[in-house]
Structure 1
Amino acid sequence: SVCNPKYTADYLFYFWSPRENEISILYICLVFTLLGTLVKYLSSCADHSRIGRLEIGLRIGTTILEFRGIRDKRNLRLRSIAENIRSTHPEQEEAGIPCTYCDSPVPAAKTCLHCEASLCDKHLKKHSKSAEHVLTEPTTSLENRKCSVHKKVLEYYCCEDAACICVSCRLDGEHRGHQVETLNEASEKKKEKLRNILQKLTSQREEAEKRVQSLEELRRQVQGKAAGVTERVTALIRDIRKQLEALEKRVLSEISRQEEQVSLRVSDLIRQLEIKKEELSRKMGDIEELCDMTDPVTVLQGRESDRDDYCDIEELCDMTDPVTVLHGRESDRDGYCDAAKNGGKDERKCIYGRM
């Protein structure tokens, strides 16, 4: 019925939908029509136990109208009615499962599995106390509380088949002769097992937390040690790099110094060789002059004093060592090195020998 405040509130929320901040005239008319019908029903209602449910619709409608900024006489009238209801009848909010036999939403205290009804405290006092009327906590799931075969209340638990059964299943059904327990006993046993499992899991979790803390501490220690090692290695590498740079400078400096010394010695040898070459050229000219003479006596007797030089020149011409050739006579070679005595070894020994 449209007078039912539950549906009235649904209609208010469903149809009151603004579009681009504009309220349709059709929606306004519909809301006022619903609220007007609700007010008439409230005025003619003799059962004031329904006022709690009606007040919900009035409160929602008044709030929506106030939010939308509608200020007319009808809105003020609805607000006045709602305030009167609040002052004379406190709000009764639906909480949990309601009583089946109450018109107003009164919370149920128990549920009868036999009657399949939820009962408040008032109706519970008048309810049958017979054994077949099994009471349980308020619930709406009654199908799983009855045997699917015999349609009777489940009262026992079959330990062998791990199933909830009714009296007929225990006495005449497939569970006849099995070890059974009441649901409460079986439930308490299972709770005890679950508590033990919970205790073990709690211990395992605490142990895991301790291990996590221990591993975190180990990780912090490793990070600290790694940071220290990194710092030391960095400093060591930096020191090694400085030493290598210093060594590089010393080696390059020594190479440059030796290069300069060798260059000076080579330059001196080149100068000596140039002088010796000029002397040899002069002697070659004298020999050529003698070769051009036709008088044999003059050739044989000419310049006897140069005969020793000629012999030395012949010996020098047969030598391959430039140092020996450079220094000429044995008396001149003593001031430099013993290249001639050593069989004409490489002149580099003379160049590098004193470095």
Structure 2
Amino acid sequence: MSAASCLLTEDQFLCSICLDVFTDPVTIPCGHNFCKTCITEHWDINVPYQCPNCKKLFYTRPELQVNTFISEMAAQFRQSAQQKASSSSSEQQAAKPGEVPCDVCTGTKLKALKSCLVCLDSYCETHLEPHLTRSGLKRHQLIDPVENLEGRMCMKHDKLLELFCKTDQMCVCMLCSISDHKNHDVVPLKEEYEGKKAELGKTEAEIQQMIQKRRLKIQEIKHSVELSEEDADREVADGVQVFTALKESVERRMNELLNTIKEKQRKTEKQAEGFIKELEQEISELKKRSTEVDRLSHSEDHLHLLQSFRTLNTAPPTKNWTGVRVSPPSYEGTVVRAVNQLEETLSKQMKKLFEAELKRVQKSAVDVTLDPDSANPWLILSNDGKQVHDHDVKKNLPKRPERFDTCVYVLAKQSFSSGRFYYEVQVKGKTEWTLGVARESIKRKGIITSSPQNGYWTIWLRNENEYKARDDPPVLLSLKSQPEKVGVFVDYEEGLVSFYDVDAAALIYSFTGCCFTEKLYPFFSPCPNYGGKNSAPLIISPVNHTE
């Protein structure tokens, strides 16, 4: 085995946590080795359980058993290293800059191996020997070599600082403890050292936890950036596709419009050319007749004139042009029809966009239930917290600061202070309703105006077909169809609240540029019953992701 160990390097026997030779080495499931104490303390601090080398996650904490083979190899390596260190220590080295020199050496100062807290001197290997062999010196306290040993002495009593006054938080000597620090809480220096070392260990553990949390936050931020890049790429692709199709449609419609106008003009010109050609032919014939008439009128041949008069006096075969007109073509409606066709194309593209957008926001769906503690006493909530309607009968409920006492409002139990969330509400069969989100600090008593200024971002239906966004000022909405299911989407960081007609896959309205600083709650108002006219409930519906 010793021959085999000679072939291995020092790095193969070092724990990657403590960077020292293995002590009770254990092998974890991914195959990496650590000191048992090191990996145990690491997992006590860091959760989830993860290999420090390859970062492999373990969902349950692995059981640790000492790897006897590696343990024996490490022991042999340690023994070999100690032997090498012993053999090399005989070769005395001069103290280098930054190293503690021997206080006894004359001439070249050798490197000190130990410092004596009694003698207040540091010794090289040669001058240290008396402290290792003489009985009187063996009782002296030796430590690793340090400079400024005088700083370890009490300046007042010239005694070793071997005690710690917890009252004054300072190191003291034995005489100090019975004079200036009498009746103080004084403990041995080692005891305070152990306590402070334990505190440092706890502080180190807390620091490691803070480091781990920040590493996780870095991963979270990087993941957010990756998602943002994916969203940006998708939006660019969708935008390019839509605008390319729109551009092609515009060019196509423009060419069709120009061709239509040109074709009408061509037909008009062709008709006019035909008329002009026919008229020119008649003019040519008439000119011939005019020439013959003029010649005959100057003839003195009585017989010839009388014989030719009948044929020349008869009107030539010409067309009656009185009612003939070349009317300019009518272009009324040509451009309008082309624009209407373009608008139809744009509407189709917009519908595709809204369908894709709805698919994306539905991925942020959350489970929402109504909060009975916030519900107005006139409201009836279903046992599962998914439905609410006005009952025309006021219940006797305990007064709570979170309960709406006048307006028939209710909030969800769930609140959100970051990220995105989405939910859907069935409004089918209702003549009035209000939906949206509200911040935690909203007014809940008395008459309430639901506007963004007051902490409400909502849309409503009134009088069966009057839709409004309760913005500042309110916005009258023109919808192509009455929605039966409304989707509500919120992006907290973006400051966005959007409402969708789920069945039509159409955007109803968006509040943009909002500044959220509090928790947001889904908000519902089924509005008064009106004697059964508006008795249908608002129903929080499960989100069926659009395919």
After TM superposition, the score normalised by the length of structure 1 is 0.46
State which structure, 1 or 2, has the greater radius of gyration over its C-alpha atoms. 1
| Larger proportion of helix | 1
